Amino acid sequence: MPEIKATVETEVEVSFEAFCEKCGAGICNNVSTRNSYRRGQPQIVITPCQLCLDNSYEEGQNSRDDEITELSDQIGELSEQLENYHGNT
Ligand SMILES: [Zn+2]
């Protein structure tokens, strides 16, 4: 029997769910899909989980506040040392 090779394109709709890997929250509302402009490849665009963003922001603020406290303490100690130095000269 003669044979011929043919390419068949099949479009399939795929439903899926999305979850934040870090906290486990469902983030289906943070996901959108599109096809790439030039290649037409399916793409998934995900906005980070708001809870984890808020937590990261808070962690950053706490870390910054700790750093500021530490630096203020060091400045206080150095000022004291400087006053003592001048007091002794
Ligand atoms: Zn999260």
Q: How far, in Å, is the centroid of ligand 1 from the Cα of 26?
A: 8
Q: How far, in Å, is the centroid of ligand 1 from the Cα of 48?
A: 7
Domain boundaries, the chain: 28-88
Q: How far, in Å, is the centroid of ligand 1 from the Cα of 40?
A: 30
> Once rounded to an integer, what is the mean pLDDT over residues 68-77?
97
Q: What is the pLDDT at residue 87? A: 81
Task: List Cβ neighbours of 36 (8 Å cut-off, separation of 6 or more).
Answer: 42, 43
pLDDT above 80 (res 88): no
Q: How far, in Å, is the centroid of ligand 1 from the Cα of 56?
A: 10
Tens-place pLDDT, residues 30-64: 999 999 999 989 999 999 999 999 999 999 999 99
Q: What is the pTM of this model?
A: 0.64
Task: List Cβ neighbours of 20 (8 Å cut-off, separation of 6 or more).
Answer: 27, 48, 49, 51, 52
